[in-house]
Chains A and B, each alone.
Chain A
Amino acid sequence: MADFEPKIVAFVCNWCTYAGADLTGTSRIKYATNVRIIRFPCTGRIDYMLLLKAFDEGADGIIVSGCHPNDCHYTSGNFHARRRWIMFRELCDFVGIDINRVLFSWVSAAEGSKWADVVNTTVTRIRELGPYTEYQKVAKHPIREVTNG
């Protein structure tokens, strides 16, 4: 397991976490290379089917991150995301998806070092958990056919 490099997808909002990750860069704080960021206007936009899609395509871990409560650029998008996350967690747990593979966090535009921490923590955690092969047992690939269409 030592040379296992986890594939982690980060779904982040444009206004807080994306800008926060920019600040990590401007501050030259180093972190693990395993995470790829996908930018959304707001965490409220994140359809959680995308998370399942990411697992289906072979992601080992996922980060969802947006503005802190009350700081949403669009007032309430992050509250919707949080509410949906609570539902999604329950659902994942019920169908047998390991919820430890999804990290939900708030990183503001001023928290460059927190973003590095979030990434490093997630990479360490996913490294310990190992490659996510069990998902295939859960999914049996129905999702790929549906969403490709």
Chain B
Amino acid sequence: MSKIGVFVCHCGENISATVDCVKVAETAAGYDGVVYSIDYKYMCSDPGQSLIKSAIAEKGLTGVVVASCSPRMHEPTFRKACAEAGLNPYMCEMANLREHCSWVHEKGDATTEKAIDLVRILVEKVKKNHSLNAIKVPVTKTALVIGGGIAGIQASLDIANSGHKVILIERDPSIGGHMSQLSETFPTLDCSQCILTPRMVEVAQHENITLYTYAELESLEGFVGNFKAKIRRKSKSLDEKICTGCGQCTTKCPVKKIPSEFNEGLGKRTAIYVPFPQAVPNKPVIDRVNCTYYIKGKCKVCEIVCPTKAIRFDQEDTIVEAEVGAIVVATGFTVKQPDFFPEYGFGKYPDVITGLQFERLASASGPTLGEIRRPSDGKVPEKIVFIACAGSRDPAKGIPYCSKICCMYIAKHAMLYQHKVHGGKSYVFYMDIRAGGKMYEEFVRRAIEDDGVNYIRGRVSRIYEKNGKLIVKGADTLLGAMPVDIDADMVVLATAGIANEGSEELAQKLHTSYDSYHFFSEAHPKLKPVETNTAGIFLAGACQSPKDIPESVAMASGAAVKVACLFSQDELTREPLIAVVNRQAAPVFSSCVGCFLCVSACPYQAIEKEEIKNRTGEVIRTIAKVNPGLCQGCGTCVAFCRTKSIDIQGYTHEEMYSEVMALLNEY
């Protein structure tokens, strides 16, 4: 006989403001099998949990229904409380009265009725629940870090320094990411490369880190502690072991006019190239799309000049299989590109550039060696205009969010310009200045007060060319929307930071969720910012949302600690919500007829064929068997099974049918 306890939470006023919690508890008390029912202000608090624990002990409860927030929020809390009181944690269920009821409906009888129904559904389910025991699985103590920007570098180093192996993969020929492209960093104005390159070298030399550049994740199988990753190492057309990185090939390559990705198209590179001088590894790759040999079948200049004969034109992509226990996603972001701003003439006027292009112009390693010269004719611009929120905070452009870093880098750009072009005039059009952060506001004030940057609060409607000048038509909203026209020599757009190319596909490979802007979703916006909803997969840096360097580094270290915590255990416990094939006494053995439709349905190859033998060793039946280590508990096999011989623990037929019947019988 079931003895169910129902615990209705007010969640302060979050639930009780629209749901009559007392009535819910009173109604539940009248249900068959419910021996205890109570409402309380905060069920998740210590006294709330004690209420549950003491009721389990005193009333001998066999099942608990906590009617409060989403189980995605507090299921582990309450299951743990039950376990501490000696009740099997899987005999505890949660009715979602907050997210699915009180927050989405107005106060009224209908809302309370719905709350009562939600409780009744779970009361009936918990009656059918079975005690389950967590599954123990081993942990592979190697981490995979995807993305070699500052976040990926930091995460790799931290994990490696905690004594665990790391595989770092990077899509581009070198690690470094966007940070390696930057000139100086705010708010200290120290050189980005100077602080980054020692870290890059450390990654390359660390004994615990295996670095694969020019590589991408091909596929991923498995689960926390036991992932199997396939990594595609794109062909570099080079034997890296022999190459000394002397650079003969890159200087002699006849294809010299390819826009350099590293310089954001402002400089040129060759077909065999090292993206930038401090690249790690400092060895070239051949860009097969632009290489004359791959296009026309002859050239091979690089092969001829190579002193160590390291060029391999016939090299193919290789797939590396790696077993890893945890994954850190640090794939970063990108900036919105042309044709997005027809009114600003981006793409039409060469002197309208993005913030990232300006970084390259201001960088000592850039195409102008750090001099601010406009791309069209190489002249030093006497008047420069910076436009903030180019795309960001603009729902009409589909980017309602704030890109967060632009206010600061615009102040930095304007400052750098003033430092490099004496007597130059700079203007910033802005909506608001968002300079939250240590020494950030002071930095912006410095740009305005010490360096004389003109900040104009207002938007720019249009940019057009006239007599060799770019006419920027804006408005100053602090002067009653007075029109402002500036005849600028150069315009820099602080383009919105957006999710990196391919992040959606990567999220799909990793089976993690992403938001409507294609940034990776964290498990909880406040309390689980580096975790994803998939156990063992963590996030670092701007792949989750645009963020600056200190934040990315902090997040990467956070993710690294999560990985280290995971690796500190020799065995992990997994939820036992997996499929099982029923077994009965001989001579029936199982109701499974061995059609193996489930085998074809299973996305994890978790279902095997089991042979049942008689005493003489003769096979008398072949039935399905679920490998509990591989099963992820999706239940697809359950819906497939013709004889209902396979069932999924925690979501059994009995439980689900009880829910449907409970719901409608008094609805």
Does A105 lie at the interface of the complex (its beta carbon under 8 Å from any beta carbon of B)? Answer: no
Mask, A77-89, CB within 8 Å of B = 1, is 1001100100000
Does A131 lie at the interface of the complex (its beta carbon under 8 Å from any beta carbon of B)? Answer: no
Name the distance in Å between A90's Cβ and chain B's nearest Cβ: 17
Name the distance in Å between A89's Cβ and chain B's nearest Cβ: 16
- Chain A residues contacting B5 (CB-CB under 8 Å) are none
- Chain B residues contacting A147 (CB-CB under 8 Å) are 657
Does B365 lie at the interface of the complex (its beta carbon under 8 Å from any beta carbon of A)? Answer: no
Does B121 lie at the interface of the complex (its beta carbon under 8 Å from any beta carbon of A)? Answer: yes
Distance, CA A105 to CA B408, complexed state (A): 42
- Chain B residues contacting A28 (CB-CB under 8 Å) are 103-104
Known: A36-B663, A110-B521. Contact between A16 and B513, CB under 8 A?
yes
- Chain A residues contacting B653 (CB-CB under 8 Å) are 47
Contact present for A110 and B511 (CB under 8 Å): no
- Chain B residues contacting A84 (CB-CB under 8 Å) are 639
Contact present for A80 and B648 (CB under 8 Å): no
Known: A30-B104, A50-B660, A57-B660. Contact between A71 and B513, CB under 8 A?
yes
Instruction: Name, among A5, A25, A28, A80, the residue most crowded by chain B CB atoms within 10 Å (CB to CB).
Output: A25
Residue of A nearest to B664 (CB): A57
Known: A74-B632, A109-B513, A110-B521. Contact between A25 and B664, CB under 8 A?
no
Distance, CA A8 to CA B432, complexed state (A): 46
Distance, CA A22 to CA B113, complexed state (A): 19
Does A65 lie at the interface of the complex (its beta carbon under 8 Å from any beta carbon of B)? Answer: no
Contact present for B121 and A77 (CB under 8 Å): no
Number of cross-chain contacts by CB at 8 Å: 151
- Chain A residues contacting B105 (CB-CB under 8 Å) are 30-31, 33
Contact residue among A44, A53, A116 (Cβ-Cβ distance under 8 Å from B104): A116
Q: Which of B65-101 contact A (CB under 8 A)?
A: 70-73, 96, 98-100
Contact residue among A22, A47, A71 (Cβ-Cβ distance under 8 Å from B70): A22
In the complex, which range does the number of interface residues on chain B fall in? 35 or more
Contact present for B511 and A41 (CB under 8 Å): no
Name the distance in Å between A11's Cβ and chain B's nearest Cβ: 9
Name the distance in Å between B16's Cβ and chain A's nearest Cβ: 15
Does B111 lie at the interface of the complex (its beta carbon under 8 Å from any beta carbon of A)? Answer: yes
Residue of B nearest to A46 (CB): B639
Distance, CA A24 to CA B603, complexed state (A): 30
Contact residue among B533, B656, B660 (Cβ-Cβ distance under 8 Å from A15): B533
Contact present for B100 and A37 (CB under 8 Å): yes
Contact present for A110 and B635 (CB under 8 Å): no
Does B487 lie at the interface of the complex (its beta carbon under 8 Å from any beta carbon of A)? Answer: no
Does A7 lie at the interface of the complex (its beta carbon under 8 Å from any beta carbon of B)? Answer: yes
Contact present for B639 and A57 (CB under 8 Å): no
Known: A36-B118, A36-B121, A71-B513. Contact between A19 and B508, CB under 8 A?
no
Distance, CA A74 to CA B98, complexed state (A): 27
Contact present for A71 and B508 (CB under 8 Å): yes
Does A18 lie at the interface of the complex (its beta carbon under 8 Å from any beta carbon of B)? Answer: yes
Does B486 lie at the interface of the complex (its beta carbon under 8 Å from any beta carbon of A)? Answer: no
Contact present for B639 and A38 (CB under 8 Å): no
Does A54 lie at the interface of the complex (its beta carbon under 8 Å from any beta carbon of B)? Answer: yes
Give the total of A residues in contact with B, Cβ under 8 Å. 53
Residue of B nearest to A18 (CB): B72
Distance, CA A5 to CA B71, complexed state (A): 28
- Chain A residues contacting B635 (CB-CB under 8 Å) are 40-42, 44-45, 77
Distance, CA A50 to CA B334, complexed state (A): 46
Known: A28-B104, A53-B661. Contact between A77 and B513, CB under 8 A?
no
Does B638 lie at the interface of the complex (its beta carbon under 8 Å from any beta carbon of A)? Answer: yes
- Chain A residues contacting B639 (CB-CB under 8 Å) are 44-48, 80-81, 84
Contact present for B103 and A25 (CB under 8 Å): yes
Distance, CA A22 to CA B636, complexed state (A): 24
Residue of B nearest to A51 (CB): B660
Distance, CA A72 to CA B516, complexed state (A): 16
Contact present for A41 and B577 (CB under 8 Å): yes
Contact residue among A25, A39, A77 (Cβ-Cβ distance under 8 Å from B636): A77
- Chain B residues contacting A37 (CB-CB under 8 Å) are 96, 100
Known: A18-B72, A41-B577, A110-B521. Contact between A74 and B636, CB under 8 A?
yes
Does B633 lie at the interface of the complex (its beta carbon under 8 Å from any beta carbon of A)? Answer: yes
Contact present for A15 and B513 (CB under 8 Å): yes
Contact present for A45 and B648 (CB under 8 Å): yes
Distance, CA A52 to CA B650, complexed state (A): 22
Contact present for A25 and B104 (CB under 8 Å): yes
Contact present for B104 and A45 (CB under 8 Å): no
- Chain B residues contacting A15 (CB-CB under 8 Å) are 513, 533
Known: A53-B657, A77-B603. Contact between A36 and B638, CB under 8 A?
no
- Chain B residues contacting A48 (CB-CB under 8 Å) are 639
- Chain A residues contacting B660 (CB-CB under 8 Å) are 9, 38, 50, 53-54, 57
Known: A45-B636, A76-B636, A80-B640. Contact between A57 and B110, CB under 8 A?
no
Distance, CA A53 to CA B100, complexed state (A): 23
- Chain B residues contacting A77 (CB-CB under 8 Å) are 603, 634-636
The list of the 10 closest CB pairs from A to B, nearest first, reads: A45-B635, A25-B99, A74-B634, A44-B636, A57-B664, A25-B103, A75-B603, A42-B634, A22-B99, A33-B110
Interface residues of B (CB under 8 A from A): 70-73, 96, 98-100, 103-106, 108, 110-111, 113-114, 117-118, 121, 507-508, 511, 513-516, 521, 533-534, 577, 601, 603-604, 632-636, 638-640, 648, 650-651, 653, 656-657, 659-661, 663-665, 667
Would you give 10 A-B contacts (Cβ < 8 Å), ordered by A?
A: A18-B72, A22-B96, A39-B71, A41-B650, A41-B651, A44-B601, A57-B664, A76-B603, A84-B639, A108-B513
Interface residues of A (CB under 8 A from B): 5, 7, 9, 15-16, 18-19, 21-26, 28-31, 33, 36-42, 44-48, 50, 53-54, 57-59, 70-77, 80-81, 84, 108-111, 116, 147
